[in-house]
Structure formats: C-alpha cells, structure tokens
Amino acid sequence: MLFHIKSGFWLLLICGLAFLALWTRQNYAYRLREFFVRIKRRTGGVIRLNDSFSDDLESGLSSRNFDLISQNDNDSRSGLDDSSKAEVKRIMEQENLSFDKARFLYVERKFGQNGIAPDGTPLDPKAVVFNK
C-alpha cells in the first residue's frame, strides 16, 4: 500500500513538472532568443534586425506578444513610431507597468481621443452597430 502511494506521488509530481515545462516553454524560448540577440549585438555579432528594431528591443519595447525578433528579419522599415515609443516608455516608467500593459493603456487612450470606446465600439451617437 505504501509503495502505491509513493509511486503515485512521484508520478503526479513528474506529470505536474512536465505540464509546467510545456506550458511555459514559449515564454522561456522568447527570453532565450532575446538574450542571445542582446549578446550578439553587444559583441558585434551579426543579428537579423535592422538597427532601429534592435534599439527598440534594447529599450524593452518587445515582449512575447509583441515580438520584434522573429518577424522582422528582412524588414526595411525604420523601427517603431518615435512619438508612440516615447509615450509607451513614459507610461511604463510613470505607472510602473510592463510593456504589454503600457501598450494596451496607450491604445485605449488613443481610442478615447478618436471617439472609440475601450471595447472598440464607436462613441458617436449616430453610429449604427449590429450585434452578432
């Protein structure tokens, strides 16, 4: 009986650890890629981002949800918008938020300035909105 309890405990522990490893692997993979890009940039190695996106990455303006590393290998644009970057950085510093939360707050504020509710519906009383 005691053997079955011990083996059940170890089986449950192994399954739990395997689940956690699979559940968090994308986050760790992104952080590892970001770490290697920063190391390559500091040591003069070749990275596949143009300089503007590299500067944005160094400034912390990237996350797993807003990935500058994997999708901008051959991007010829000049990085993120300067005024938006400055505003997101200001929100991050003043309100002590992560990049994703600061970006979300920035978009909500932009919505408000343009007459759009935080849920994306127009605030114009003449607007016609159909439900699904």
Q: What is the pLDDT of residues 13-67, one digit of tens each?
A: 888 888 877 777 766 777 777 777 677 666 766 666 666 777 777 777 877 777 7
Give Cα 76 to chain centroid, integer Å: 21
Residues facing residue 116 across a β-bridge? 122
- Distance of alpha carbon 53 from alpha carbon 61, whole angstroms: 9
Which of residues 103 and 8 earns the better pLDDT score?
103
The mean of the pLDDT values for the chain is 78
pLDDT of residue 129: 75
pLDDT of residue 101: 92
Crossing angle for the helix pair 51-58 and 2-42, nearest 10 degrees? 130
pLDDT of residue 130: 78
| pTM score above 0.75 | no
Dihedral of the alpha carbons of 68, 93, 108, 52, in degrees to the nearest 10: -30
Rg value, the chain, Cα:
22
pLDDT digits (tens, 9 = 90+) for 75-115: 677 767 888 889 999 999 999 998 889 999 999 999 888 88
In which element (H, E) is residue 26 found?
helix 2-42
